[in-house]
């Protein structure tokens, strides 16, 4: 709720600031152009409801900023966070004079506060007020721009829009300042006429003494409240630190061999930052981006379950139970974690599982390879080879789709498929045999359709093995895919290679035959040693045609 409130109040303030700066930029045209847009903005923001919404958002945004400052276990943070925090604290003292002299004066005196009046008041107050207003434009806009950028960069469309938005974000405050100084110069010339000044300030000077006293007394009170609130937050942080230090700490194990001590209540991300260990956190620890995710090893059973924003974020990436967000995880017992994304991970990386994120499960792996592809390339033009290979892979992919197989890896002239991702091992083995049979049937039809194009029909070798493997989303951040690795996968690949030695189209392991209940009475049985694999030879069956293996299942 706090995150959503901070975002909502920030967006309301930005919705006011952006057109306000555009209004300033119209000063490059004329004061009349600025005044015309101001009258239009008053129709929207001049209502009592809009006033409560705007000033309520400013107050709530400041309170939430103080709460976030208190929550931080330490003040070591990214440069952009420091800049946003400092500029956010500077906004209230910079904006108070302007807000009191415009909106508050308008409400108490019932006067219309025009651009002519505001600019004349700024000029009359001297160079310090001019610099203060210019600084207000820069500080407010940088604070807003940082917040908008780090919110929007989690959106899919934002990187494409950035080449347009970035120059606009730079130009807007620059044009606003140029417009402000241009009309201020015109006002300075007009102010040489004392009669003009008296007419501009007539309503303000006619204010009753008690109203004038209120207007002059509001700013010191507000500044005192703001400074006091900030001081109380800093003192509360010191008190909390002393309390946590007295009431215990936890130890955090982090690869390769770091062991960190941290007070109870401090999040994993804060602990890593305090130790100056690089760890990804695109959103700054707000639980939006998931780039700070870690895999919990030792100590998982002592952790409370995720809640709130962490549940929502983990659900988006379909995370397994041992994956948690470092920015939300505040252990009360010793813990061991492993980062799942590199320290320089981007917002795009946070939308998908990073690195090798998976778990051990039983799968059936099928490797299929096109025989004689090199010779095919020597006899055919490149375009013809591409056409034939595209036809071949289209048929193989269709066979996988028809039998519930999952395409995993493309190897140039072959592919790897996984079966049994959602079901018992027996079903996965049977589905893999059915997939191999469907591949052979589709290959036969493809050879018939390409008979005039091919000197020899296309042939394949298929290897199938089943067992435990690490299954999950893996690969580079730009092209992740669900795949598997481990001994089972290596054996299946070797069995596909063994089809060349035994001169058969398919070899299945003894485990596949057993789980699929294949009748192996008439199948040739061998014991083979898998190259590069330690251990005893494995039993295999040579199958002259996958249809035969499929028909023999009981």
Higher pLDDT, 499 or 356: 499
Query: What is the number of H-type helices and E-type strands within the chain?
Result: 19, 13
Burial code of 41-70, b = ≥16 C-beta within 10 A, e = fewer? eeeebbeeebeebbeebbeebbebbbebbe
3-state secondary structure 493-510: HHHHHHHHHHCCCEEEEH
Q: 57-61, 225-229, 383-387, 465-469: which has the minimum mean pLDDT?
A: 383-387
State the Cα–Cα distance between residues 28 and 133, nearest whole angstrom.
Answer: 17
DSSP category for residue 518: B
State the Cα–Cα distance between residues 256 and 262, nearest whole angstrom.
Answer: 18
Single pTM value for the model = 0.56
Domains 2-240 and 249-351 share a fold: no
358: pLDDT confidence band, cut at 50, 70 and 90?
A: low
End-to-end Cα distance, the chain: 58
Superfamily of domain 249-351: Beta-grasp domain (3.10.20.30)
pLDDT at 486 over 80: yes
Q: What tokens does 175 get?
A: 């044009």
* 2-240: CATH, from 1.10.3470, 1.20.1300, 3.40.630, 1.10.20: 1.20.1300
State the Cα–Cα distance between residues 174 and 182, nearest whole angstrom.
Answer: 12
* Boundaries of every domain in the chain: 2-240, 249-351, 357-551
pLDDT at 551 over 70: no
pLDDT at 381 over 70: no
Residue 306, phi then psi, degrees to nearest 5:
-65, 155
State the Cα–Cα distance between residues 188 and 41, nearest whole angstrom.
Answer: 25
**Average of pLDDT values for 502-506?**
93
Crossing angle, helix 48-71 and helix 31-45, to 10 degrees?
80
87-102 pLDDT, tens digit per residue, is: 988 998 999 888 998 9
For 135, the enclosing helix (H) or strand (E) is helix 127-152
**Residue 289 CB partners (closer than 8 Å, separation 6+):** 154, 281, 282, 283, 313, 347, 350
Overall fold of domain 357-551: Alpha-Beta Plaits (3.30.70)
What pairs with residue 485 in β-bridges?
Answer: 470
* Three-state secondary-structure class, residue 262: strand
Asked if 465 and 484 count as a contact pair (C-beta separation under 8 A), the reply is: no
């Amino acid at each position: 709720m706090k995150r959503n409130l901070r975002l909502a109040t920030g967006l309301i303030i930005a919705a006011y600031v952006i057109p306000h700066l555009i209004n300033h930029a119209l000063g490059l045209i004329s004061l009349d152009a600025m005044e015309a847009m101001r009258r239009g903005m008053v129709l929207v923001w001049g209502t009592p409801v809009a006033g409560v919404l705007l000033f309520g958002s400013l107050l709530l945004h400041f309170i939430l900023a103080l709460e976030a400052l208190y929550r931080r276990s330490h003040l070591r943070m990214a440069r952009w966070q420091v800049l946003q925090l400092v500029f956010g604290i500077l906004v209230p003292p910079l904006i108070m004079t302007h807000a009191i002299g415009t909106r508050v004066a308008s409400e108490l005196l019932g006067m219309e506060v025009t651009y002519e009046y505001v600019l004349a008041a700024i000029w009359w107050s001297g160079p310090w007020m001019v610099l203060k207003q210019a600084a207000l434009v820069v500080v407010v806009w940088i604070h807003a721009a940082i917040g908008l950028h780090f919110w929007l960069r989690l959106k899919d469309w934002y990187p494409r829009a950035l080449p347009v938005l970035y120059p606009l974000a730079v130009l807007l405050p620059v044009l606003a300042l140029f417009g402000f100084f241009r009309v201020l110069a015109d006002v300075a010339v007009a102010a040489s006429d004392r009669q003009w000044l008296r007419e501009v300030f007539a309503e303000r000077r006619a204010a009753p003494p008690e109203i004038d006293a209120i207007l002059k007394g509001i700013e010191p009170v507000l500044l005192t409240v703001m400074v006091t609130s900030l001081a109380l937050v800093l003192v509360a942080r010191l008190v909390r630190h002393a309390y946590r230090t007295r009431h215990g700490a936890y130890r955090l194990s982090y690869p390769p061999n770091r062991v960190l001590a941290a007070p109870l209540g401090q999040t994993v991300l804060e602990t890593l930052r305090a130790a100056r260990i690089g760890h990804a956190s695109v959103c700054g620890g707000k639980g939006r981006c998931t780039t700070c995710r870690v895999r919990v090893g030792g100590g998982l059973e002592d952790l409370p379950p995720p809640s709130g924003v962490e549940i929502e974020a983990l659900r988006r990436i379909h995370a397994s139970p041992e994956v948690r967000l470092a920015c939300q995880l505040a252990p009360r017992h010793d813990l061991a974690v492993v980062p799942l994304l590199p320290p320089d991970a981007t917002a795009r990386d946070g939308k998908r599982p990073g690195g090798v994120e998976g778990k051990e499960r039983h799968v059936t792996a099928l490797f299929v390879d096109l025989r004689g592809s090199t010779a095919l390339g020597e006899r055919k033009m490149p375009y013809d080879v591409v056409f034939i290979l595209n036809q071949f892979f289209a048929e193989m992919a269709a066979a996988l789709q028809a039998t519930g197989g999952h395409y995993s890896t493309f190897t140039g002239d072959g592919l790897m498929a996984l079966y049994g991702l959602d079901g018992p091992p027996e079903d996965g083995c049977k589905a893999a045999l059915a997939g191999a049979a469907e591949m052979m049937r589709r290959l036969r039809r493809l050879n018939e359709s390409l008979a005039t194009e091919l000197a020899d029909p296309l042939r394949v070798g298929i290897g199938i093995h089943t067992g435990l493997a690490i299954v999950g989303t893996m690969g580079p951040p730009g092209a992740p895919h669900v795949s598997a690795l481990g001994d089972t996968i290596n054996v299946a690949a070797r069995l596909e290679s063994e089809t060349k030695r035994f001169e058969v189209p398919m070899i299945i392991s003894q485990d596949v035959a057993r789980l699929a209940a294949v009748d192996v009475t008439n199948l040739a049985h061998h014991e083979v040693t898998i190259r590069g694999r330690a251990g005893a030879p494995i039993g295999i069956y040579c199958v002259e045609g996958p249809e035969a293996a499929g028909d023999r299942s009981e």
